[in-house]
Structure 1
Amino acid sequence: MPIPFLQRIQALAGSAVNKIVPAGPGPAAAAAEQLLKQLLSGLPELLAAAVVEVESGQLLASYTTSREFNLSKAIGFNAEVIRQQRRAMQALQLPAEEQLDDILITLQNQLHLLRLLSDGRRFLYVAVDCRDTNLGIARAVMRTCQE
């Protein structure tokens, strides 16, 4: 039985762990939640994942395995990375058929992937431990997560 008071106390402790959290009600958040469920079925060992609007940097749904992994702080910066890469591609005057597909950020023990969704207005963010998941598998699973 859900007790509202206890849920508010849990929210004060930080983000939910091992649970998909939609940003709010509505069809966009519901679609994002469904996308993360699809992703988790293919990458159950991932560290964090989110669906984000590119232009606003707004989080639509998120999932993390650790309270220390603060997605809300990182997401805005990741949205800016995509916006800057798009500007760089315009500056290079690349042909119109050249579209940004994904961006890989490699850390010593983690891989962070930003993959644009088919509408180009949202992206899927995934962080995995490179000791548990290889890049090819992560990219293949992310490709299947389209609406």
Structure 2
Amino acid sequence: MANTESALQDAMTSIEGALGAALVDYGSGMALGTLGGSQTLDLNVAAAANTDVVRAKLRAMEMLNIQDSIEDILITLGSQYHLIRLLAGRGGKGLFLYLVLDGKRANLAMARHQLKRVEAELEV
């Protein structure tokens, strides 16, 4: 089992094209841990903003009476992929992993697969 720091390190090193990663509490919008990012990619700001994305999708599912869970949410930009993976395991309720990828270097299918593995090994 990996703690937050080692899980984010694993994501950054094992996922090709990773630019930044965070573990986020979508109840508060706070990043519990971040790794990577840049002057133009503030992971704390992104964590708070993407909390609104998660909440909006959960509200929409409730309004549509969709009895299912969100695996991940993908946002594609011109040069980046933003991947939000809600944690499903014990202790992970209310948390998501947030990963920003370079669209030119990343393999989206492999990134999703690796992020799922990181989630499975994360101990929160």
TM-score (norm. length: structure 1) = 0.73
What is aligned with 1:131? 104
Which residue number corresponds to residue 47 of structure 2? 75
Match of 2:3 in 1: 31
Give the aligned length. 116
Aligned residue in 2 for 1:63:
35
Provide structure 2 residue ranges, at least 5 long, that are not aligned to the other structure. none
The match for 1:114 is 84
SS of the residue aligned with 2:3?
Answer: helix
Between structure 1 and structure 2, the one with the greater Rg is 1
Distance 1:78 1:68 in 2: 16
Q: Percentage identity across aligned positions?
A: 34
Q: For 1:112 and 1:135, locate their aligned partners in 2 and report how far apart those are by CA, in whole Å.
A: 10
Deviations 1:1-60 (A, max 9, x none): xxxxxxxxxxxxxxxxxxxxxxxxxxxxx8321210221231153111100101101111
- Residues 9 and 35 in structure 2, CA contact (< 8 A), matched pair in contact too: no
- Alpha-carbon contact 2:24-2:47 (below 8 Å) kept: yes
SS in 2 for 1:99: coil
Structure possessing the higher relative contact order (Cα contacts under 8 Å, 6 or more residues apart): 2
Distance 1:91 1:125 in 2: 25
Question: Which secondary structure state, in structure 2, belongs to the residue aligned with residue 49 of structure 1?
Answer: strand
- Give unpaired runs (5+ residues) of structure 1: 1-29
Could you say what secondary structure the match of 1:51 adopts? strand
Residue 91 of structure 1: which of 63, 78, 92 is its match?
Answer: 63
